[in-house]
Amino acid sequence: MAKLVLAFIVVSAFLLVSAKKLDDVTELQIGVKYKPETCDIQAHKGDKIKVHYRGKLTDGTVFDSSYERGTPFEFTLGGGQVIKGWDQGLLGMCVGEKRKLKIPSKMGYGDRGSPPKIPGGATLIFDTELIAVNGKSANKGADSEL
């Protein structure tokens, strides 16, 4: 009986690891969830952008959210201030657009992770919304502080 239980545990562990690997990606995946009818303001390398986001692991665990803080995150796109998956995944995004980014470990936090919330080798999933580019938002037009 003990051998049967041990075999069950080994098989269960293997299936759990295999299921996790199915959710992992090796290349950046960008999914557009919403795109405005017009794209008057678009994000380019070097632009200062404001983004709302929710970051999750593949098991659905939320590790960070600007929505919960009530303040979008601001940074220079392509300036190396954020993970590579963001610098590439947000390029060309329109103000008001929403994207889902599935970021492989190599474009996120790598094998080291970002303890304690992000384990090493983790694929990251971000729901993002572009709020403003260079101080300009879709609904306010010119130099608005959000």
Give the residue numbers annotated as catalytic, written as ranges: 53, 63-64, 83, 109, 126
CA dist 35 and 12 (Å) reads 42
Query: 91 near 113, Cβ under 8 Å?
Result: no
Of 102, 127, 87, 81, the C-alpha closest to 25 is: 102
CA dist 145 and 12 (Å) reads 52
Query: 126 near 62, Cβ under 8 Å?
Result: no
Three-state SS letters, 69-88: HCCCEEEECCCCCCCHHHHH
Query: 58 near 123, Cβ under 8 Å?
Result: yes
